[in-house]
Structure 1
């Protein structure tokens, strides 16, 4: 008999936390047990389209969801549960943990080529410009969609996702920073919050100080085990900075002024002249402007969107006199050779390359100066926007959301975020997987 058939939904409340409920010697905490029962009840016995599960760092939320999907819900033959995330980077984290995953965008939207475009005189010309439209339907085999990092989903994408009337289990962390553009609607509709730290995480120094940050408590200077250190700014000697910054997998700060200064400092450590405003081969950059027309992989599953970190290569002049480069997202093994525009901001100044200039429109789009008059009159279209990047040795905490890194250095500027200072620090701390240094 399939082990799933032994568990009847109606009697789930009778299962005690001390009972081993699988053949894998896995015991759930009382908190996980409660979440499991609520999810199972929702899936089988309610008409509600979605369930929102929040869970703090160290509560075993990701494990619990994976466990419930594979061992409790027991989809029938031919039925599928799919895991998705708002970004390719977040999806790649699930994949590394052994869970096949894609993006929400690739699941519910399809590419469509426009066959016309309006030129500068208002005439229709031939074009192959891509755009994305909501699919009419998704596979009928899909009975459950599990969405990780749900707090990063916009209201528009959420509306489109729910329109397919497929049950959606949203997973997030209400203690993290809300999106820059406002509060995610899902985090106002939480069905259950997991708060109990699992035994395996209780001795993890990163989880310990993340919990203190979430609770708004002061975290004293000092060492926390072998993996966490908190020091004052004055303790960081100049001779230490180069070794430290070049060894960090990611530096996180709060203010753009700090980010610019740190990126310039690290480029100096790499012996890159300050006059070299554009990235050289192998430099770490982050995309800061969505361009859904630029795929990052040959299968066109991931696209160039705000927050994607990667590496620049093969800087060159394009046919349109705009500097071009190849770009490899850090979660992909290979780079795509199609040209990406090189738009890099340093200290607020736009460095475009080859003497060109760009114009920022009212909607935030950055366009080549030659296109400005036409676009201002016609309103910008997506393929006229110059791809925008910044150096990414140091990034802001908002840009780091949905990502994780082995060794993180945090410049604690939580004070700048006022009522969200605890969320800021908690989010920054939980980007670290193995090692963490906080400088404040």
Structure 2
């Protein structure tokens, strides 16, 4: 499992953390892979990467490509054709680009929407979105839904209206969560779709919170601070869903999911950045694919 951003290890994978809570800890080693076949080049590379992470010194990363039909190398000139062919063969729901940063994910997302999907509007019916932050507000009235999770994919089934308030732009929509088989009427932030940050900045959220607490539409003029704060916790604007386009994602957002077709963006990764953290990233990205894996601009790693 990839550690949280900025951490060297995953706390959820450290037995000592649970033992300190007085819990009994059991360990198991997963030895059988069912996501890919045993003759898969995807599995071969994932296995090599996992074993290489245990070596000292850490070897230079390399890709094992020869003799495998499920592995391919592509570059920036052909990536649109690759993604388009994958869409035609298996659909956008079975195709993903995995990249290193939110900025590059945004660039890929905007390119796919314009060059492949021919979307001109900022948001369209059928749009694939990625939830960027856990949300408990919009699931409160849906019996089978505890919360909407960071990393969930949502499909825009209806767009009801778009509005601007307190300097933020919102859309009132109905989202379908395909993995939960449920429809959710909700409000989403439009600004997060084209923002390079992972989610809305804390200072911006604080500004919105103060605006909502002072808004006479949300609170009576004589309402106490405690009443305003209590209403803020359920406020539909402050708790609007934070979403991104879902055609390209960072590896942290891809964890736990799988697709038939995965394109891994290896462009612009300096040799000095190809340490253990990079190995973990590449292993996780590689193991997301079940049928076809495309390495985009792998450089010397493919030689």
TM surpasses 0.5: yes
CA distance in 2, matches of 1:240, 1:399: 24
Q: Which residue of 1 aligns with 2:134?
A: 290
Name the structure, 1 or 2, with higher relative contact order (CA <8 Å, separation 6+). Answer: 2
The Cα of 1:433 is off from its aligned counterpart by 1.9
2:2 paired residue among 177, 187, 191: 177
2:256 paired residue among 402, 417, 425: 402
Larger radius of gyration: 1
For residues 302-340 of structure 1, give each alpha carbon's deviation from its aligned partner in whole angstroms, at most 9, with x where no partner exists. 42221111211211227997421111113133423x233
CA contact under 8 A between 2:105 and 2:250: conserved in structure 1?
yes
2:286 paired residue among 406, 425, 429: 429
CA distance in 1, matches of 2:206, 2:98: 25
CA contact under 8 A between 1:257 and 1:347: conserved in structure 2?
no
Unaligned runs of 5+ in 2: 16-24, 54-58, 89-93, 219-224, 299-303
Q: Does 1:204 align with 2:47?
A: no
Decide whether aligned partners of structure 1 residues 198 and 324 sit closer, same or farther in structure 2, where only a CA change above 3 A counts.
Answer: closer
For residues 19-58 of structure 1, give each alpha carbon's deviation from its aligned partner in whole angstroms, at most 9, with x where no partner exists. xxxxxxxxxxxxxxxxxxxxxxxxxxxxxxxxxxxxxxxx
CA distance in 2, matches of 1:432, 1:242: 14
Q: Which residue of 1 aligns with 2:233?
A: 381
Q: Which residue of 2 aligns with 1:226?
A: 69
TM-score of the aligned structures, taking structure 2 as reference length: 0.68
Q: Which residue of 1 aligns with 2:171?
A: 323
Number of residues of Structure 1 aligned to a counterpart in Structure 2: 250
Q: Which structure has more strand as a fraction of its residues?
A: 1
CA distance in 2, matches of 1:348, 1:317: 21
Unaligned runs of 5+ in 1: 1-175, 351-358
Q: Give the RMSD, CA atoms, in angstroms.
A: 3.7
Q: Which residue of 2 aligns with 1:254?
A: 100
SS in 2 for 1:335: strand
Matched ranges for 1:104-123 at <5 A: none
The Cα of 1:346 is off from its aligned counterpart by 4.1
CA distance in 1, matches of 2:66, 2:211: 55
The Cα of 1:424 is off from its aligned counterpart by 0.3
Decide whether aligned partners of structure 1 residues 311 and 263 sit closer, same or farther in structure 2, where only a CA change above 3 A counts.
Answer: same
Point out 4+ residue stretches in structure 1 off by more than 4 angstroms: 195-201, 318-322, 363-366, 372-375, 377-380, 413-418
TM-score of the aligned structures, taking structure 1 as reference length: 0.48
